[in-house]
Chains A and B, each alone.
Chain A
Amino acid sequence: MVLSGRARQQLLDPGIVLAFAVGAGTLVLFVLYPTLRVLAYPSLADYLAIPQSVRWVQAARNSLLTTALSTTTAVAVGLAFAFATTRPDVPGRRFFRAVALLPLFAPPFMVAFSYILLFGRQGLITRHLLGLDVNLFGLPGLWLVQTVAFFPLAMLVIVGVLEGLNPSLEYAARNLGADERSVLRTVTLALARPGIAGAALVVAISVLADFGNAVVIAGGMPLLATEAWFRMEGMADLQGASLVVALLMIPTTALFLAERYWVSRRRYTTVSGRGTRLEPLPTYPPLRWAVFTVCTAVSVLVLLVYLGVVAGAFTAVWGRDWSLTLEHFTLARDRVGSLWASLRVAAGAGGVTALAGVLLAFLTSRALPLRRALDFLAVLPGALPGVFVGVGFVLAFNQPPLELVGTPWVLVLALGFWHLPLGYQAAAAQLQQIDRSIEEAASNLGARGLRVLRDVYLPLLRRAFVEGFTVSFVRAVTNVSIAVFLVSPGNVVATFAILNMIGNGIWGGAAALTVLLLLVTFAVLGLARLGAARALRPTPVG
């Protein structure tokens, strides 16, 4: 390999070499190794036997069907919300945006759980207010629940694209003779198409990998994401579990690569120099009202998710005795240990994500050999379903020399590295904004190697650090897909405890503990916002 002068110079810096070794080493150990472990665990014969297994073929088919259905509706709803929040003349746009973010902070099973409370057999709304007998379990329930749970992801992706569109394009179209509907069809939606495609891929990955909602509401319907856990829990069938998650990884990775290397490149950045940015054109009225109606209806559904759980937490016996009570919280208090375990694990995972993210982003931003490989490994976890990572860590770390299974560390590391792309990409984005000349100025004044990282980058990266920590923390504290594989009797996390209570029909206790978990999550989010605001203040550049 021919190294540039710059690269050679950096390889001579002992600090950089050490950082490189640590970064690459941890990626190989905690990302690559568990992945390969899973893929290599079943024999070739096992793989070849997949088409013969009726149950797996069925699970695969169900997973693909729910993915197709839920992705379509979630993207449609996300598009409506994206429109509502980027058009200044849609009434209630701030409200819609705030509501649409709520599902992102809920534990993955919460939508399903709440809808069973509200719309299920014993549903407060279906049975007791409307007198209907509705069975929510199975495909229709899962479809509804995943739509509500994942449309926010679609919204965020599409909003990013719509905000990037220069309003003058719509003006130009109108000026050239297009009426309002033609502008929408030929310009606005046409330009949003790559964003919509990207949103569909992101949502599809999440739906395919969704464990929490599926395990609560899918009922008897076999799905790939839940099948692995049933294999492991019910039959201690590691072979089968790894086979299923490997099977699941194929479509998620394909979707992930498609998003990363194809769709995201096709996004149109509006080419333009300077120019006065125009106010967006008034929204086509029928569209405005359609968007408003969809957003209102879905917002009600989102708010009901939270209201249902809160109601469940204060109701004596759901479905029979509607009197208010605090008794579930006393029950939940016995499980307060699990809340602490959740907090410890999530804080650990957040730290791992943020630290590793910043370090790796720093390394891949330099002219070092193998930086593309590092970059690939740092974003790879984004392609892996949680259940895959769960099984991977079980297989990789259940024997010496690294016998971590049974300790809280395995959960910390699994969650921390699973969320690594979030911290890594946040840091990489910040690094791109930092002008090279700042570093050159620092070197010019005598700072070398890692000292540049410490003196120049770390202060500027504080924001990325807080962001990586927060996102990873929130997702770790609400995670179930990995937790179910890695909890051990000594460190049961809250989500796992809640899931068990739901499974055992202890709805009141489950709801109460969920409420406590939500309070903790929002408290940490609030603190992080304060922290982020403070981290911003001393930052002299962008």
Chain B
Amino acid sequence: MAVHLRLANVVKRFGPSVAVDGVSLEIEEGCFFTLLGPSGCGKTTLLRVVAGFHTPDAGDVFLRDRRITQLPPHARGTAMVFQEYALFPHMTVAENVAYGLRMRRVPPAQIRERVARVLELVGLTGQEGKYPHQLSGGQQQRVALARALVVEPEVLLLDEPLSNLDAKLRLRVREELRELQRRLGQTTVYVTHDQEEALALSDRVAVLNHGRILQVGTPEEVYRNPTSRFVAEFVGLANFVPGEVVSPGRVRAGRVELRVDGLRATPGGRVVLAVRPEEVRVCQDPPDTKPNVLRGRVRSATFLGPVRRLTVDAEGFSWVVDVRADEAVAPEAEVTLEVPAERLRVVEEEPEDTKTGGGGT
């Protein structure tokens, strides 16, 4: 599919702090693309650069092949849903939604028709005459979405749109949003700090930290194969094991030697290995002969509903391991951990020097 939105080496500074530090991205048509990162990582700044609220200090923004870097916000066709919705309090639902069309000088009859259609789409038919303060949080959220969708934007921008909803509602609106986006084939850029939201919604995810993109991929790629310690930690939970490469496929970590599939680092190099808690297996009767088997003692066991989360001290490391909740594992129990060689991967430590700067959101 064709590239719809492209960022080339975008840099944005606020005074001395660098909010966006050389970001390049390609977003395909119809893609639900998420910028994921902690607060202050530059994701919202990046979204505002796309919307035209900030002019980048360097780099360019392209819509299809058109360079829009210097275009004012109202000429871009990038409709945005704001975190706090930014509904016009002095306008009714219908007037809010019609606003963008009115500014585009669409004939009134057509405005009425399109407003009615989009309100139906978001399930707000019958609420046309109400004012924002008469609506619930979820309804306000839909008005904001309808207001952005009705102008048929090139790219829809969403800035943490679910963060003002309560947990139950957030889940429901999330599903609806995803369904709607698929149906319309609407190219969408979504900003969030919530990794679960990012995984559930996106076709592709870019993980940002300190104004830089650390990894781009499908939710599954990012979760299964994080390339850096930061990504592994921010998206999900991970155990990290520092070690030294002994030979291709073998790493010495403390007192044990671990097999790592596909490891091609040169012997003698220092690496950090990562493995997800649910990827580590707990065996009650130890098959001593298998590789990657560690003896340990359970320090704590926490019931979390679907899983039981264990902290296990084994071979000088503290491991977080998830087992099925119906497996009764008591604290102080002696256990054996099996770390599958195909699930261990090498991650990059984030260099210290990028951990300064940032600022803005």
How far is it, in angstroms, between the C-alpha of A187 and the C-alpha of B51 when the chains are bound? Answer: 19
1/0 per position for B50-76, CB-CB distance to A under 8 A? 011100000000000000000011110
Q: Is A444 in the interface zone, CB < 8 Å from B?
A: no
Pick the residue among A174, A268, A273 that contacts B84 (CB under 8 A). Answer: A273
**Given A176-B151, A177-B100, A271-B140, are A169 and B164 also a contact pair (CB < 8 Å)?**
no
How far is it, in angstroms, between the C-alpha of A176 and the C-alpha of B78 when the chains are bound? Answer: 8
Q: Is B133 in the interface zone, CB < 8 Å from A?
A: yes
Pick the residue among B100, B104, B137, B147 that contacts A273 (CB under 8 A). Answer: B137
Q: Is A4 in the interface zone, CB < 8 Å from B?
A: no
- Minimum CB–CB distance from A102 to chain B (whole Å) comes to 33
**Given A179-B74, A276-B361, are A172 and B103 also a contact pair (CB < 8 Å)?**
no
Q: Which residues of A contact B52 (CB under 8 A)?
A: 174-175
- B82 nearest in chain A by CB position: A168
Contact at A172–B83, with CB atoms within 8 Å? no
Contact at A176–B83, with CB atoms within 8 Å? no
How far is it, in angstroms, between the C-alpha of A288 and the C-alpha of B118 when the chains are bound? Answer: 37
How far is it, in angstroms, between the C-alpha of A255 and the C-alpha of B38 when the chains are bound? Answer: 52
- Minimum CB–CB distance from B46 to chain A (whole Å) comes to 14
**Interfacial residues of chain A within 476-492, with CB under 8 A of chain B in the complex:** none
Q: Which residues of A contact B51 (CB under 8 A)?
A: 171, 175
Pick the residue among A178, A193, A269, A275 that contacts B82 (CB under 8 A). Answer: A275
1/0 per position for B77-121, CB-CB distance to A under 8 A? 011101111111110000000011001100000000000000000
Contact at B89–A191, with CB atoms within 8 Å? yes
Q: Is A323 in the interface zone, CB < 8 Å from B?
A: no
Pick the residue among B44, B72, B79, B137 that contacts A276 (CB under 8 A). Answer: B44
Which residue of A175, A193, A273, A281 has the most chain B CB atoms within 10 A of its CB atom? A175
**Given A166-B86, A186-B99, A276-B44, are A175 and B133 also a contact pair (CB < 8 Å)?**
no
Contact at B103–A268, with CB atoms within 8 Å? no
Q: Is A265 in the interface zone, CB < 8 Å from B?
A: no
Contact at A177–B151, with CB atoms within 8 Å? yes
- Minimum CB–CB distance from B239 to chain A (whole Å) comes to 34
**Interfacial residues of chain B within 136-192, with CB under 8 A of chain A in the complex:** 137, 140, 147-148, 151, 160, 163-164
Q: Which residues of A contact B296 (CB under 8 A)?
A: none
Contact at A275–B99, with CB atoms within 8 Å? no
Q: Which residues of A contact B90 (CB under 8 A)?
A: 190-191, 193, 268
Q: Which residues of A contact B243 (CB under 8 A)?
A: none
- Minimum CB–CB distance from B342 to chain A (whole Å) comes to 42
How far is it, in angstroms, between the C-alpha of A168 and the C-alpha of B164 when the chains are bound? Answer: 15
Pick the residue among A166, A190, A273, A278 that contacts B164 (CB under 8 A). Answer: A273
Contact at B88–A275, with CB atoms within 8 Å? no
- A281 nearest in chain B by CB position: B53
Q: Which residues of B contact A270 (CB under 8 A)?
A: 89
**Given A177-B100, A271-B132, are A172 and B88 also a contact pair (CB < 8 Å)?**
yes
How far is it, in angstroms, between the C-alpha of A172 and the C-alpha of B143 when the chains are bound? Answer: 13
Pick the residue among A174, A175, A271 that contacts B87 (CB under 8 A). Answer: A271
Q: Which residues of A contact B137 (CB under 8 A)?
A: 273
How far is it, in angstroms, between the C-alpha of A172 and the C-alpha of B51 when the chains are bound? Answer: 10
Q: Is A437 in the interface zone, CB < 8 Å from B?
A: no
How far is it, in angstroms, between the C-alpha of A278 and the C-alpha of B86 when the chains are bound? Answer: 11
How far is it, in angstroms, between the C-alpha of A190 and the C-alpha of B82 when the chains are bound? Answer: 21
How far is it, in angstroms, between the C-alpha of A169 and the C-alpha of B82 when the chains are bound? Answer: 9
1/0 per position for A253-285, CB-CB distance to B under 8 A? 000000000000000111111111010010000
Q: Which residues of B contact A190 (CB under 8 A)?
A: 90
Pick the residue among A174, A191, A272, A278 that contacts B85 (CB under 8 A). Answer: A272
1/0 per position for A345-385, CB-CB distance to B under 8 A? 00000000000000000000000000000000000000000
- Minimum CB–CB distance from A181 to chain B (whole Å) comes to 11
Q: Is A182 in the interface zone, CB < 8 Å from B?
A: yes
- B95 nearest in chain A by CB position: A186
Q: Which residues of B contact A272 (CB under 8 A)?
A: 84-86, 164
Q: Which residues of B contact A178 (CB under 8 A)?
A: 74, 99, 103
- A167 nearest in chain B by CB position: B86
How far is it, in angstroms, between the C-alpha of A268 and the C-alpha of B75 when the chains are bound? Answer: 29
Contact at B84–A275, with CB atoms within 8 Å? yes
How far is it, in angstroms, between the C-alpha of A219 and the C-alpha of B79 when the chains are bound? Answer: 61
- B44 nearest in chain A by CB position: A276
How far is it, in angstroms, between the C-alpha of A274 and the C-alpha of B162 when the chains are bound? Answer: 11
- A177 nearest in chain B by CB position: B103
Q: Is A173 in the interface zone, CB < 8 Å from B?
A: yes
Contact at A173–B164, with CB atoms within 8 Å? no
How far is it, in angstroms, between the C-alpha of A173 and the C-alpha of B74 when the chains are bound? Answer: 8
- B77 nearest in chain A by CB position: A177
How far is it, in angstroms, between the C-alpha of A273 and the C-alpha of B133 when the chains are bound? Answer: 12
- Minimum CB–CB distance from A160 to chain B (whole Å) comes to 16
How far is it, in angstroms, between the C-alpha of A503 and the C-alpha of B169 when the chains are bound? Answer: 73
Contact at A276–B83, with CB atoms within 8 Å? yes
How far is it, in angstroms, between the C-alpha of A176 and the C-alpha of B86 when the chains are bound? Answer: 12
**Given A179-B74, A186-B99, are A172 and B104 also a contact pair (CB < 8 Å)?**
no
- A179 nearest in chain B by CB position: B74
- Minimum CB–CB distance from B76 to chain A (whole Å) comes to 8
Q: Which residues of A contact B148 (CB under 8 A)?
A: 176
Contact at B83–A175, with CB atoms within 8 Å? no
- B132 nearest in chain A by CB position: A271
How far is it, in angstroms, between the C-alpha of A177 and the C-alpha of B103 when the chains are bound? Answer: 6
Q: Which residues of B contact A186 (CB under 8 A)?
A: 99
Contact at A169–B74, with CB atoms within 8 Å? no
**Given A172-B80, A175-B51, A268-B90, are A275 and B164 also a contact pair (CB < 8 Å)?**
yes
**Given A175-B79, A176-B103, are A271 and B89 also a contact pair (CB < 8 Å)?**
yes
Contact at A175–B44, with CB atoms within 8 Å? no
**Given A186-B99, A275-B164, are A175 and B74 also a contact pair (CB < 8 Å)?**
yes
Pick the residue among B78, B89, B132 that contacts A175 (CB under 8 A). Answer: B78
Q: Which residues of B contact A193 (CB under 8 A)?
A: 90
A-B contact list, 5 entries, CB within 8 Å:
A166-B86, A174-B74, A175-B52, A175-B74, A175-B80
* Interface residues, chain B, with chain A CB atoms under 8 Å away: 44, 51-53, 72-75, 78-80, 82-90, 99-100, 103-104, 132-133, 137, 140, 147-148, 151, 160, 163-164, 361
Please name the 7 residue pairs, one residue from A and one from B, whose CB atoms are nearest each other, closest first.
Answer: A275-B84, A273-B164, A176-B100, A272-B84, A177-B103, A172-B86, A275-B83
Known pairs A175-B53, A176-B151; list 18 more (Cβ under 8 Å).
A166-B84, A169-B86, A171-B82, A172-B86, A172-B88, A174-B73, A174-B74, A175-B73, A176-B74, A178-B74, A190-B90, A191-B88, A268-B89, A268-B90, A270-B89, A272-B164, A273-B163, A276-B44
